[in-house]
A and B are shown apart, each in its own frame.
Chain A
């Protein structure tokens, strides 16, 4: 069955970068784009950006525009989220979620990756 498996928890210092991976399996990779959503402790869901697996087009939330890069690797059916210049308020669980090209919500989510930013 379709599933997304994310990389493990990370602990980073302020100013560092983190790269989270999301490996897809069980479905045609290029039929779905990837969204990245984060959730700070006890808070709601915050959309960070989207990438097309078909042509690599991206769309980022303005808040993250200059700090985040989304990529995909079709050969390994993996999506990546790279967040730079980390701050303590970037401490959150980061999720990848797939979205069909015709868009009907985010139907499959990764299990989440906890990123802790602390000095």
Chain B
């Protein structure tokens, strides 16, 4: 199974900050990478797929980049509603695997 490693596991930031989360795959996955946002008590919500394609309706302050094994999720101008946990996921093959998550908290 492909292992997905996110860093950091948590970070504290202020509204208006720029936040970067990284995700590394244990083997090349081309751009078969998705990012999800999850708020407490809610199901995950797809933000980005294909490593860099913003899902329709997702705020444009979210962006993704990378290919192969190294990927990045960037949140520009952090808003209060962005404090949540973010997960990366590969869908290059089965089993689908997730990163362990990055919790973004208010500084």
Contacts and interface: CB of A to CB of B under 8 A. Distances in A.
10 contacts: A44-B98, A50-B96, A61-B95, A62-B95, A105-B89, A106-B34, A106-B36, A106-B46, A106-B89, A109-B45
Interface residues of B, number: 25
Interface string B78-101: 000000000101010011111111
Nearest to B45: A109
Given A44-B98, A45-B98, A47-B97, A110 B91 contact: no
Contacts of A95: 43-44
Interface of B: 1, 32, 34, 36, 38, 43-46, 48-50, 53, 55, 87, 89, 91, 94-101
Nearest to B47: A105
Given A44-B101, A45-B87, A105-B89, A59 B46 contact: no
Nearest to B100: A44
Given A105-B46, A109-B43, A99 B87 contact: no
B95 A44 contact: no
Interface in A13-44: 35, 37, 44
